[in-house]
Structure 1
Amino acid sequence: MYELNDTYKAHLDAIADAIQASPSLALYLEEEEDEHYEALKAEFEPQIEAAHEQINHYSPFEIEAFERYLLDDRFEGLFLPRVLGYSVLRPEINQLFYYARQNDHFGTLLTYIAGNMNFDQLRTRIGQAVQVGFALSSDIYVTGLIDEIPTKRVRQFLLQQKSDDARTADGRKQIFNRYKRQFASRNYQYAPFPQQVGELISHTNHAVEFLLYRVSNKDLNNDALPAPLYHFVTNPDFAGRKEIIRPLVIYGAYLPPQDDTKQAVVDVLNRERKEDPKRVSEQIMTFILRLKNDPQVTFGKDEEANLGLIIDRSIDDDLTAYFNLTDRIHAEGYDDADVQEAIQEEVLKQEGLSDINENIRKTILTYFDDLAASLGTDEYNKWFRLTGKLFPVYMKIFANEQFNQHLRRLAIRYTKRLIKVHTNKRGKDYRDIKKTTVATWIDYGFMSDKQLKEFFKTPRKRKSAE
């Protein structure tokens, strides 16, 4: 999306100069032995990799420009096999396991590698990447790419990477996932933001997934994200387009804008809410629910509160009602009687299975999850006191079986922790835990008498054969 900045250019130029001055390169050029190229690789690829990791950590929008900068003969093809691997894994893939758009970055890299004077050394490290790139690309694109290669033996090598398994969607999926596992610990993700109206449909989904990857990884520096995200959501040409809503939510929740930037974002969201209030409210509620249900994404009370800061409460719609309510939940507490009454009033206004009601339930469940996670096995009295008061209240408010089942699973997990520690069946701790659990779980409908007896039954140890 951006050109490579001068600092990284200077850094790469210094590496390139060192490569050209290296004794290992001189020996390789003189004797043409693989061992000298391997020595060159061992010396300089870690340096290039470190620079690559740094720019992807701090300036991800420059990553493809960085990789194109390596297409210079001064680098002797070093690190290009790894870059080629990243290039086939980044793009958006459709349901048929083809690239959603033509992967020109992969084509550019492969064409350069194919013409590099060190191709014989590089070919041993690019086979799988080429196979994946070919499998996910159209036959027309692959054929055109190979036909442009002037050297016959290189064309033959590339043709050999076309896999018969790639003829089916399942085959392509297996090829992709098998290769992707090799890079599970690597940070290589990138997606361009839409720049023109025509790119909104084709680019937004990929951009959203990229943003979620970045904001979900607490080890990454995301200072480079707000500026392009701001220009994207405030682009006047995108006014009225549904594609800007999810990026707006991510912006507000994870990268909260400040000062004048915040007001501009609020103004954009106000414009969209006034133009089509029902559609915008549904979009936001649906997307928030997706975030809450995604185990790879963190969306808790902090993110919900951040998002609430760009929701103008002077507009009378479902969003105002929802965020007014969640503000109270987070500020006054889910155990407050007035808050519980406000929740019940809002729930009754909505359809039972609406996304708004489901979001409210998820918000409350997050507090119960946090409670269970925060308590040790010696704090069971606090667990019984709080859940004994709150479980019945919220089970009545929501009257939702899925919500009840979540509470049931939570109670079972915590109680299993207790009885693994408090094992003395004649001890006070165990007797108190069992007595309270039996009484409350029957009232909640979590288990029957028979199930509870089975739950607390100690499995017999098998006698070892003499």
Structure 2
Amino acid sequence: MYPLNEAYQQHLEAIAVAIQASPNLATYLEEEEDAYYEALKAEFEPQIEQAHQQLIDYSPLEIEAFEKTLLDERFEGLFLPRILGYSVLRGEITDLFYYARQNDHYGAILESIAQNSNFDQIKSRIGQSVQVGFALSSDIFVTNLVDGISSKRVRQFLQAQRASDARTLDGRRRIFLRYARQFKGRNYHYAAFPLEGPELTTYIKATNDFLQFRVSGELDNAAIAPTLHAMITEDDFKGRKEILRPIVFYGTFFEQTPDDRGELMTVLNRERNANPAQTSSEILSTILELKKERDFPFGKEQELNLGSVISRNIDDELTAYFNLTDKIHNDGYVNPDVQAAIAEELAKHSGLSTFAANVRESILQYFKQLAEGFGTEEASYQQWFEVTGKQFPSYIKIFGSESFNQDLRALAKRYTKRLTKVYTNKRGKDYRDIKKITMTTWQDYGFMSEKELKEFFKTPRKKKVEA
């Protein structure tokens, strides 16, 4: 756990003091009515939430320290139900839908809630979080946690949250996915960074998932960079393939000082020289996976960023790959010289290799941008036909990949469907031009047979409504 910075310590201390001085708390303690506790929540939980959100957006490595501070009795259990839910979702989950490791942070928050003097006011907000956390945890963990609670009434409440569905894999999956949907769009993510040899295997998956979340949007990651740099340059991790995926994230999405960039490149060169096949394979596999992630930003800009930390004085697949992609991105995928370079380089690699698959994916991204960028007016669709009429056949021949062809077919279908929804008059010039060109070119590309094309352009008949 990373320590909480002094500014937030002081801020939380001020909130704790204000809570204890609040008239709402005094009235609640005097009257013991739920309405006054609700008033206390309305007064202070927005302040805690604002600080929590700001910290996790800008300095997420300190979030567990922040949340542990809230376990102080002076906060009267405020905001604990929310952070209990976040702690449930942060634990690394296996394919069997169990926690990969004991979720101690979840346990600490739940234990604090169970022992809080305001438990009766809090319990109505934690039932599902307790149920999901118990479903994902081992029986030993749950039993030890419940047995450690002194209040029989609280123990009975917790025992009642052990869902029978959690006994099966499908049950745990349903319980978790249903719960996780409630938090969609929220930033609650955190993972520890391994900094010692034994931790690398244990924590690296959670770390990678956390990094991928952080770089997938517009979050400020400046506070993460020093810890990530320290992990990547740790001597204990020399020769370990587990550091290669974080290196991809760091080299692609993080800004480095000149000194830090030099150290990053030194580590990369060390790994490439010591384990050329492993390093190339891991890095190319990682960027291929990221390119295929829906809505994940790994395109031209990101590939050029990563290429800038790849030394070209090492004769390996990474040098060959980034020399080629630099040419694609800088000179343009429609350039005949670029296409000749792609054909020449791919002749050295199997069509099923990650090298070839990455090149195809880079080109496919340009065609996706083309399809998404064009409107449906005549000038746009004429340009679409002009560009694709030249480039589709060229790349179909260069790659010789049925998978790539199917991806092009899907793009062409989506764009053409957009056109036919606009140009519905089958006697009109636009519709006839679109159909004529499509009927000819798609057969040439191998996208559809004549029979399939006729079916594609057929207007479904509306069902007659019986009187």
> Which aligned pairs between 1:246-395 and structure 2 lie closer than 5 A?
246-378=245-377, 379-395=380-396
Give the aligned partner of residue 411 of structure 2: 410
Q: CA deviation at 1:425?
A: 2.2
Q: Please say if 1:72 is aligned against 2:77.
A: no
Q: CA deviation at 1:464?
A: 4.2
Choose 126-135 or 358-367, whichever is displaced more.
126-135
Supply the distance in 2 between the matched residues of 1:464 and 1:156 (Cα, whole angstroms). Answer: 59
Match for 2:416: what amino acid?
Answer: T
Supply the distance in 2 between the matched residues of 1:456 and 1:87 (Cα, whole angstroms). Answer: 52
Q: CA deviation at 1:463?
A: 4.2
Does structure 2 retain, via aligned residues, the 8 Å contact 1:256–1:307?
no
1:224-262 C-alpha deviation (Å, 9 max, x unpaired): 221111011001111111110000001111114231111
Give the aligned partner of residue 20 of structure 2: 20
> TM-score w.r.t. structure 1 length?
0.98
Supply the distance in 2 between the matched residues of 1:97 and 1:465 (Cα, whole angstroms). Answer: 51
Give the aligned partner of residue 81 of structure 1: 81
SS for the counterpart of 1:297 is coil
SS for the counterpart of 1:240 is coil
Aligned length: 465
1:336-367 C-alpha deviation (Å, 9 max, x unpaired): 11110000011110011000000000000000
Give the aligned partner of residue 197 of structure 2: 197
In 2 relative to 1, CA 271–280 (structure 1 residues): closer, same or farther, beyond 3 Å? same
Give the aligned partner of residue 422 of structure 1: 423
Match for 2:176: what amino acid?
Answer: F
Match for 1:400: what amino acid?
Answer: S
Does structure 2 retain, via aligned residues, the 8 Å contact 1:256–1:306?
no
1:172-208 C-alpha deviation (Å, 9 max, x unpaired): 1111112212211321011111121111111001100
Structure 1 runs (4+) greater than 6 angstroms displaced? none
Supply the distance in 2 between the matched residues of 1:419 and 1:171 (Cα, whole angstroms). Answer: 44
Q: CA deviation at 1:158?
A: 1.4
Supply the distance in 1 between the matched residues of 2:459 and 2:153 (Cα, whole angstroms). Answer: 70
Does structure 1 retain, via aligned residues, the 8 Å contact 2:195–2:230?
no
Q: CA deviation at 1:457?
A: 2.1
SS for the counterpart of 2:91 is coil
CA RMSD of aligned residues (A): 1.2
Supply the distance in 1 between the matched residues of 2:186 and 2:351 (Cα, whole angstroms). Answer: 43
Choose 269-278 or 170-179, whichever is displaced more.
170-179
Match for 1:176: what amino acid?
Answer: F
1:425-458 C-alpha deviation (Å, 9 max, x unpaired): 2222222111111111111111111111222222
> Which aligned pairs between 1:40-55 and structure 2 lie closer than 5 A?
40-55=40-55
Supply the distance in 2 between the matched residues of 1:237 and 1:451 (Cα, whole angstroms). Answer: 59
Supply the distance in 2 between the matched residues of 1:246 and 1:424 (Cα, whole angstroms). Answer: 52
Q: CA deviation at 1:460?
A: 2.9
1:204-231 C-alpha deviation (Å, 9 max, x unpaired): 011001110111022x222222111101
Supply the distance in 1 between the matched residues of 2:195 and 2:165 (Cα, whole angstroms). Answer: 36
1:245-298 C-alpha deviation (Å, 9 max, x unpaired): 000001111114231111100000000000000010010111111111111422
Supply the distance in 2 between the matched residues of 1:406 and 1:305 (Cα, whole angstroms). Answer: 24
Give the aligned partner of residue 213 of structure 2: 213
Supply the distance in 2 between the matched residues of 1:297 and 1:410 (Cα, whole angstroms). Answer: 18
Q: CA deviation at 1:132?
A: 1.3
Give the aligned partner of residue 461 of structure 2: 460
Q: CA deviation at 1:423?
A: 2.0
Supply the distance in 2 between the matched residues of 1:237 and 1:16 (Cα, whole angstroms). Answer: 42
Give the aligned partner of residue 172 of structure 1: 172
Q: Please say if 1:226 is aligned against 2:238.
A: no
Q: CA deviation at 1:419?
A: 1.4
Supply the distance in 2 between the matched residues of 1:88 and 1:16 (Cα, whole angstroms). Answer: 25
1:361-390 C-alpha deviation (Å, 9 max, x unpaired): 000000000001111112111111111101
Supply the distance in 2 between the matched residues of 1:61 and 1:229 (Cα, whole angstroms). Answer: 11
1:37-56 C-alpha deviation (Å, 9 max, x unpaired): 11111111111111111111
Q: Please say if 1:98 is aligned against 2:98.
A: yes
Supply the distance in 1 between the matched residues of 2:89 and 2:459 (Cα, whole angstroms). Answer: 50
SS for the counterpart of 2:347 is helix
Supply the distance in 2 between the matched residues of 1:237 and 1:266 (Cα, whole angstroms). Answer: 17
In 2 relative to 1, CA 68–450 (structure 1 residues): closer, same or farther, beyond 3 Å? same
SS for the counterpart of 2:24 is helix
> TM-score w.r.t. structure 2 length?
0.97
Supply the distance in 1 between the matched residues of 2:119 and 2:460 (Cα, whole angstroms). Answer: 64
Match for 1:37: what amino acid?
Answer: Y
In the alignment, structure 2 segments of 5+ residues that lack a partner are none
Q: CA deviation at 1:90?
A: 0.5
Give the aligned partner of residue 150 of structure 1: 150
Choose 171-180 or 84-93, whichever is displaced more.
171-180
Does structure 2 retain, via aligned residues, the 8 Å contact 1:61–1:192?
yes
Supply the distance in 2 between the matched residues of 1:423 and 1:168 (Cα, whole angstroms). Answer: 52
Choose 290-299 or 51-60, whichever is displaced more.
290-299
Does structure 2 retain, via aligned residues, the 8 Å contact 1:262–1:310?
yes
Supply the distance in 2 between the matched residues of 1:227 and 1:292 (Cα, whole angstroms). Answer: 26
Match for 1:387: what amino acid?
Answer: T
Choose 325-334 or 188-197, whichever is displaced more.
188-197
SS for the counterpart of 1:349 is coil
Q: CA deviation at 1:164?
A: 1.5
Supply the distance in 2 between the matched residues of 1:321 and 1:84 (Cα, whole angstroms). Answer: 49
Supply the distance in 1 between the matched residues of 2:266 and 2:229 (Cα, whole angstroms). Answer: 12
Supply the distance in 2 between the matched residues of 1:269 and 1:315 (Cα, whole angstroms). Answer: 11
SS for the counterpart of 1:356 is helix
Give the aligned partner of residue 112 of structure 1: 112
Give the aligned partner of residue 11 of structure 2: 11
